[in-house]
Structure 1
């Protein structure tokens, strides 16, 4: 079984804006809290992903490349609004960070993610990283499709 170990943080500075982003559009065929089924277009590539329930910073994840036209067609079958974002990939102290600047109904939200080898792995935080939001369900992309950032009524903390 594939396991994703990921920590998430709000972004507070702009030192990460040194790369050309890739446009992502994704939607959910299933947003059950025990499993999600996501379809994604990332640039010119399509993906179908199944994720299990999150425990700590870990969860089961199975991701498969699919034809781009199939991914675009599957997006029309998704439950709720689509989540759009620009993803920047930034290296910091030998580690690869993914920074998502959300668009549309989630505009204004910027989240940094880092995948780790283990939950106990040491991590050097860049100066543009703010509060940790790992495990905070409202920041899950599947929940941003259901309750977008613009409807939260207050700024992210």
Structure 2
């Protein structure tokens, strides 16, 4: 078991694009999702599958359990997916000593771009990159399980 501690931000500009050091395609779906737990299958680059159980309310820290899976098992489980299958491109962007994961969503979520930063530290806004927009950490509408079930969040609220 590991504790995941992440901050999540909307992305305000494309200034990060020239700093990408790695790109990964991700296809993921949920077979269970509730306010305090989710079970998802994630396939990276069409080559690796991993089953992940997350426990805890949609806050900054949650318990996370991950298990490797075969692609054939992932394909079989996809029949039981709830909501939309999420497709996104994850871009790894270093900033000082930090590594941001910037997800560009496609399909029904096309146009949504989120940055995640796994950290337990609270950082001063001046140490964050200028291309970050509003922080949405703890806003359950931006958790992938809710994106799969509810679609694009209304950004007006």
When normalised by structure 1's length, the TM-score is 0.88
Cα offset, 1:121, TM superposition: 3.8
Structure 1 residue 31 and structure 2 residue 29: aligned? no
Equivalent-residue separation in structure 2 for 1:27 and 1:142 (angstroms):
8
Q: Which residue of 1 aligns with 2:44?
A: 42
Q: Which residue of 2 aligns with 1:9?
A: 9
For 1:25-104, list aligned pairs within 5 A: 25-43=27-45, 44-54=47-57, 56-104=59-107
Aligned partner of residue 63 in structure 1, secondary structure: strand
Aligned partner of residue 41 in structure 2, secondary structure: strand
Matched positions, count: 152
Structure 1 residue 136 and structure 2 residue 133: aligned? no
Cα deviation per residue 1:10-69 (whole Å; 9 max; x = unaligned)? 001112223352111111110111210001111121010000123641010111221222
Aligned partner of residue 76 in structure 1, secondary structure: helix
Q: Which residue of 1 aligns with 2:123?
A: 122
Q: Tell whether the 8 Å contact from 1:41 to 1:72 is kept in structure 2 after alignment.
A: no
When normalised by structure 2's length, the TM-score is 0.88
Gaps of 5+ in 2: none
Equivalent-residue separation in structure 2 for 1:88 and 1:98 (angstroms):
6
Aligned partner of residue 4 in structure 2, secondary structure: strand
Q: CA RMSD in A?
A: 1.8
Equivalent-residue separation in structure 1 for 2:98 and 2:115 (angstroms):
12
Gaps of 5+ in 1: none
